[in-house]
Structure 1
């Protein structure tokens, strides 16, 4: 076939025997410089007929051979999953190095004593995997490494001239989740990228924080997937400045609220809205709900009235009453015994959402208590925070934006994949990380901590892009960019020539040289989710045409062999 021979020459020099034998004979060969599925373990599984329900991303990760579950919330990564993880790590390395960060690898064992010094151990005991060595020394499997890295730097850095310092790692973390769920999205063992930053002054630390935020956006931009950035609660990490990075997903446990007109974006946990009587809060309410909760000392019964067509903002309630204990199942019953006693100090506090036009209180369950105690224990309070009256309800889709005159709010269910924290002196102060400043004074170092959930990112991307046929990977982190195969009757040397041309152009290619029908290979490739499938079939034998498939872009076409590299390059720009 002279035409095909000419195409082989156009793809470059061919390897000599034995590598020009048919594809089916290669199973005995170990390595010839090309990626091959005969030498790369991909234990994919067919969907069982009993599996009538729709598969989610986690189901597909298992069936496509990326991972296997070891225990509840603990997973083994198989070769395909490891290639995705390694590509994410390389992308992380690229953007951390651009920040001037040095990579470290910290032990998974952390001293319990350090966590006691930082004050983070108290009240969080159930989250930790704990262990004790033969000498009775107590350790925990680290869920994060602020205490350890702060101690290391405190012993090594003594002057402002040693700063700024940026250290990062990609390491396994451990958290004894009460209810591990959704596979890699909430596990008990997970892989995290943590960047720790150290600056001599608060101003310099704030500048570092903004530089990290830009690096995070650049990292996520390379995935070419839509993401959300929201102001967030720092929680147990400490500090007052933090941002979360999310993929919008119906699998998410977070709600991100965004304005459609300005850059207002915030996690629902932080969204406490000021009440403005001149601004509509949305559709008029149709009735009133009452919510009861107790204080931790059981003496205060909180009674809250709010519109029944809205959801109560428990974060606003906690901001008003930090001592609230929402876990009590029947707060009225628990409070009754105390309130019935004279001089008990029991108090009933009524809060009314300011959007309600008139007071409302259901006294049927409480009137008897007040009568029996001989005095009215009720106090009406205005829901005020920092001198501002606040709404007690969560925003709804279409509610007005609190920061611009024309915007409307939209709520997005989302999966958190990254978080940046400005810590200030939260850890440097208790762990004695000080440096000599430029004016010869000892000052606490200002710190930041910035994480990306590497394993969580794998699970989030899988869920975000999966369809009925299987997974769909962004080109930047796909296990292989191109799956190449030849149909029956196509010589192995032709497949090799195409492989070598794609690889020479920078393509990450794998050949499916398994002794399986072409239809089976294509279905398996869809399950795995390679961005591109290239088939040398009838069109190749007929006139040197190559079939190119890209499911995410809806592309299935035949191009000339000499145009293949250019065409894949064009399509890659969209992936």
Structure 2
């Protein structure tokens, strides 16, 4: 019997297209996102990339999303649904490769779960009744009911339940980067709140609680490294698990004025939390008199509206206790507390009285109005317990000013939560005492959630039958002499998410300026753009070859703007797109054969000779990596 002889293939010639994965060799230059395919024979040119531009010019108050569209990163398909175009796809690809790197560091395997899940699974876990209004659901031709997955806990638990049967097969870590769907009533802020979005999900499975807690700490460390590599001023805060379930939860937030959440941090200790878990934990001692009683209580009303627009919500709170500015000019109102009484509240509405006035107008002109209280508009007044205890307090104009025919509407007064406890409608305020150290003062700021970690415990493994065989009553991790009688136990689970598309929008919003976008080096569509006047195309090509020299250990991701347009137009467009570094061949090149190197984020504009340009570009990119 003969065997084939292995033959070593010759190295490719310089004219042969080759592709290699690149990782810098020095510790300082290490950037995991630079693991990428790099062609040694084909230049990256903007003329070969489809970059459609918006015809309309920039508006005076253009936000980051407007610049993303005008620069050609994305286009809106439908309300809350977007197409990612080539530039946007490059940003997302780099972000996903960075996530791949950190997930591999955790020993996680990448999977791809179906975007379609069964309604039956969600009913089995008990979540369908909680989230049914927010999911896209449909029936197939046989009448079976399905959902477009807003999240995949049920599906991945069912998958593991079929495949894992012993503690010896754990720990297991699975992740995916995939599209998800949520029927948002009011999509807004571009990629920040959409109906179709891309998420990175990591699902972990452990045999014991201790092992699951160890996994939780490892993932938190990985998340910290990931957000740090993007240069983001993120804040990790304690959070509620909400409808996801579990007993331990942390959120990762980017402070921004357009954020949906309020986060609080202490001036003295490391305490940081979402305001929703601070209900009733803080106090404002400066507002107490010498008898420890609330002094000079006045009132103010916060107004909201239900999702069906049939209920106007008035939340009455002490005005002196409300110091952080919120919607309708009111501060310190806890939306979480209001939602416990009014779960149908639409907290995204900025001007509820406008919608309410329209509801009342339609109702007043309805010829068959007053059919039943359930079908008629109503006013719901929620009274904070501090005002309820004040004998001088009474509701003033609770229906809202300038609302026609509102006097005949049903008005309901609520002073207790559903569990019978008095209503505490005040949110945390600047200067409140820290509930952990009791010495520091709390700072309150708006923020946008960009990541979330959950220790789920057995929230999904129990109802969906994901169990493993354990050796008797012993802990399989620490006990070396377990009982010989096996037992079945539910798997300990964790879930860890990062909103990929939301993160792209958040970074754009965080770094945008009047001239355009400013991407971190790690996820910029290209690290360096070579711009030349139309009559200097040949010189621009030579500069590209020198900067992108693949024989060097420090490979740089360069693009050549070889489009047949003027140099000023190219420079303005490059500012809009947000390349970290620009190398410009213009009047200085013609006069002195020197190039202009610009880095907007570092505030640098330098004129250097051709042979010095690559070193300067590389040094600037190194500064942008930290």
- The residue number in structure 2 matching 1:445 is 491
For residues 96-245 of structure 1, the aligned pairs below 5 Å read: 96-245=103-252
In 2 relative to 1, CA 407–365 (structure 1 residues): closer, same or farther, beyond 3 Å? Answer: closer
In 2 relative to 1, CA 404–559 (structure 1 residues): closer, same or farther, beyond 3 Å? Answer: farther
| SS of residue paired to 2:154 | helix
For residues 9-408 of structure 1, the aligned pairs below 5 Å read: 33-45=42-54, 47-48=56-57, 52-274=59-281, 287-289=298-300, 306-309=317-320, 310=322, 311-316=332-337, 352-353=385-386, 360-362=392-394, 392-408=425-441
- The residue number in structure 2 matching 1:567 is 616
1:465 pairs, out of 497, 508, 511, with 511
For 1:284-343, what per-residue CA distance to the aligned partner results, in whole angstroms no more than 9, with x for missing partners? 7651347999xxxxxxxx99874214133243466xxx56667599xxxxxxx99xxxxx
| SS of residue paired to 1:59 | helix
Gaps of 5+ in 1: 1-13, 16-29, 294-301, 330-336, 339-347, 367-377
- The residue number in structure 1 matching 2:577 is 528
- In 2: Cα distance, 1:204 partner to 1:530 partner: 43
- The residue number in structure 2 matching 1:548 is 597
In 2 relative to 1, CA 40–241 (structure 1 residues): closer, same or farther, beyond 3 Å? Answer: same
- In 2: Cα distance, 1:109 partner to 1:233 partner: 27
- The residue number in structure 1 matching 2:454 is 421
1:433 aligns with 2:470: no
| SS of residue paired to 1:485 | strand
For 1:200-243, what per-residue CA distance to the aligned partner results, in whole angstroms no more than 9, with x for missing partners? 01111111111111111100000012111111121111112111
- In 2: Cα distance, 1:488 partner to 1:108 partner: 48
For residues 473-512 of structure 1, the aligned pairs below 5 Å read: 473-490=519-536, 492=538, 495-504=541-550, 505-512=554-561
- The residue number in structure 2 matching 1:20 is none
- In 1: Cα distance, 2:536 partner to 2:582 partner: 16
> In 1, are the aligned partners of 2:530 and 2:543 still within 8 Å (CA)?
no
In 2 relative to 1, CA 574–59 (structure 1 residues): closer, same or farther, beyond 3 Å? Answer: same
For 1:53-76, what per-residue CA distance to the aligned partner results, in whole angstroms no more than 9, with x for missing partners? 311011111100001111111111
- In 1: Cα distance, 2:341 partner to 2:535 partner: 75
Which stretch shifts more, 538-547 or 408-417?
A: 538-547
> In 1, are the aligned partners of 2:520 and 2:580 still within 8 Å (CA)?
yes
Which stretch shifts more, 264-273 or 90-99?
A: 264-273
For 1:96-153, what per-residue CA distance to the aligned partner results, in whole angstroms no more than 9, with x for missing partners? 0000000001111111111110111114222111122222222111111111100110
Query: Deviation of residue 398 (structure 1)?
Result: 2.9
Q: Relative CO higher for 1 or 2, CA cutoff 8 Å, sep ≥ 6? A: 1
| SS of residue paired to 2:128 | coil
| SS of residue paired to 1:38 | helix
| SS of residue paired to 1:221 | helix
For 1:141-178, what per-residue CA distance to the aligned partner results, in whole angstroms no more than 9, with x for missing partners? 11111111001101110011100000000000011111
Question: TM-score, length-normalised on structure 2?
Answer: 0.74
In 2 relative to 1, CA 193–357 (structure 1 residues): closer, same or farther, beyond 3 Å? Answer: same
Gaps of 5+ in 2: 1-13, 16-38, 305-312, 323-331, 347-355, 357-371, 374-380, 399-412, 473-485
> In 2, are the aligned partners of 1:422 and 1:447 still within 8 Å (CA)?
yes
- In 2: Cα distance, 1:563 partner to 1:281 partner: 67
- In 1: Cα distance, 2:537 partner to 2:434 partner: 63
For 1:73-102, what per-residue CA distance to the aligned partner results, in whole angstroms no more than 9, with x for missing partners? 111110000000000000000000000000
1:409 aligns with 2:418: no
| SS of residue paired to 1:574 | helix
> In 1, are the aligned partners of 2:548 and 2:555 still within 8 Å (CA)?
yes
Which stretch shifts more, 553-562 or 431-440?
A: 553-562
Question: TM-score, length-normalised on structure 1?
Answer: 0.80
> In 1, are the aligned partners of 2:384 and 2:423 still within 8 Å (CA)?
no
In 2 relative to 1, CA 401–524 (structure 1 residues): closer, same or farther, beyond 3 Å? Answer: same
In 2 relative to 1, CA 325–285 (structure 1 residues): closer, same or farther, beyond 3 Å? Answer: farther
In 2 relative to 1, CA 404–100 (structure 1 residues): closer, same or farther, beyond 3 Å? Answer: same
In 2 relative to 1, CA 506–350 (structure 1 residues): closer, same or farther, beyond 3 Å? Answer: closer
> In 2, are the aligned partners of 1:305 and 1:352 still within 8 Å (CA)?
no
- Figure out how many residues of one structure are paired with residues of the other and give that number: 508
In 2 relative to 1, CA 325–32 (structure 1 residues): closer, same or farther, beyond 3 Å? Answer: closer
